[in-house]
Amino acid sequence: MRLMMHEEDWKLMFDLKLKLLAVAIGCLLPVGVYAQKQGDKRPPKDDNKVVVQPKGERPPPSNNNQGDKKGDKRGKP
Q: For position 26, what pLDDT does the model report?
A: 92
Condensed to tens digits (0 to 9), the pLDDT of residues 1-15 reads 566 678 888 889 999
Q: Give per-residue pLDDT as tens, 28-67.
A: 888 877 776 666 677 788 888 888 877 777 777 777 776 6
pTM reported for the whole predicted model = 0.41
The pLDDT-based confidence of 71 (bands split at 50, 70, 90) is low
Q: What is the pLDDT of residue 30?
A: 84
Q: How far apart are CA 54 and CA 60, in angstroms?
A: 13
